[in-house]
Structure 1
Amino acid sequence: MSIKGLVMSHKCERQGYWYGLESRKQMGAVDVLNALRDYRSAEAEMRRRTQASMGMGETDLMALRYLLEAERVGREVGPKELTVRLGITSASMTSLVDRLVRSGYVTREPHPTDRRALILRPTPGSDQEVRGTLGDMHARMMEVAATLNAEESLVVVDFLRRMRSAIDEVAT
């Protein structure tokens, strides 16, 4: 794309957000928010593609990721902990675990010291499938992030943390 095309594209982006442009500083802020919105849209679409290819919903994928992370550090996770982590009901957890077990991503095992409790473990194949499905995308994202120098990285991390705080403070 030519410089003129980039400038025209850039001007159109400024018009695409909900905020008024009262100053030059706000023009830059709107550009940042537009870029962030575009990234979030692309990420949401990637999640839909991943969920479709693995045949699972977003909560299922979040549960599997949590179980894989816990297993990597040698921590056992039961349904109660996962229920709290995902913010879902016990009935929803039962359905979720049933789906993950049926699809071969998770096993239920008896707790070693509490006969009433269960431990959820990801199957070895589930880790390989998640890595196979997401590995290429993660490598491309890491490649882009690695182009930032240390100072740029600090600025981006600080910005994203402040954005998260701003969002977390919104009353629901």
Structure 2
Amino acid sequence: MTMQAVKEGYWYGQESPAVEVLNALRDYRSAEAAMRRRTRTSMGMGETDLLALRYLLECEREGRGVGPKELASRLGITSASMTSLVDRMVKSGHVTREPHPTDRRALLLRPTPGIDREVRQTLGGMHHQMLEVAASLSRGESMVVVDFLRRIRDVVDGIESNDARTGHN
């Protein structure tokens, strides 16, 4: 059996347009994971660091500060891991700790000035090209893609850890 034949059937053991779609989705996810590795390497950051920075930048654009507890919850990490992450990101110059304006005991985490520009320079070209591809779709095609991706997300979000191991609901 050739590698192409194995890929065509993926886990599903058949060739069909549906399997082609799932293979294309898997290929995209692999390409995106590789791009994230390259980005992390170029910025000298780990996966969790990059996710944290992205969230902090989103919150900064919304005009709100984020405390370590909220960020830990968002990332699904322990407070000890959060402390290490913040220490690492402060040391690398990506994040600052600031006193909370109304709670003397609390801290806010903020992306350092200029870090948004660095992220945009690193990812801007790729995002522009992705937007061009998405813009080339008709309104109807866009709605089909969005609906498909949301339905796939719902399936993935609905899988319990036991279901994933056994393949059953």
Q: TM-score, normalised by structure 1?
A: 0.88
Pairwise CA distance, 1:15: 2.6
In structure 1, distance between residues paired with 2:61 and 2:81: 25
% identical equivalent positions:
73
Residues 20-169 of structure 1 aligned to structure 2 (within 5 Å): 20-21=13-14, 27-169=16-158
Runs of 5+ in structure 2 lacking a partner?
A: 162-169
Q: Name the aligned partner's letter for residue 121 of structure 1.
A: R
Report the CA distance shift for 1:52/1:93 in structure 2 as closer, same or farther (over 3 A): same
In structure 1, distance between residues paired with 2:82 and 2:18: 41
Q: After the TM superposition, which parts of structure 1 deviate over 3 Å for at least 4 consecutive aligned residues?
A: 11-14
| Cα-Cα RMSD | 1.3
Partner of 1:4: none
The question of whether the paired residues in 2 share the 8 Å contact of 1:14 and 1:31 is answered with: no
In structure 2, distance between residues paired with 1:35 and 1:61: 26
Q: TM-score, normalised by structure 2?
A: 0.90
In structure 1, distance between residues paired with 2:158 and 2:59: 29
2:14 is aligned with 1:18: no
Runs of 5+ in structure 1 lacking a partner?
A: 1-10
The question of whether the paired residues in 2 share the 8 Å contact of 1:104 and 1:123 is answered with: yes
Find the residue that maps to 1:124 and give its secondary structure. Answer: coil
The question of whether the paired residues in 2 share the 8 Å contact of 1:105 and 1:125 is answered with: no
The question of whether the paired residues in 2 share the 8 Å contact of 1:13 and 1:31 is answered with: no
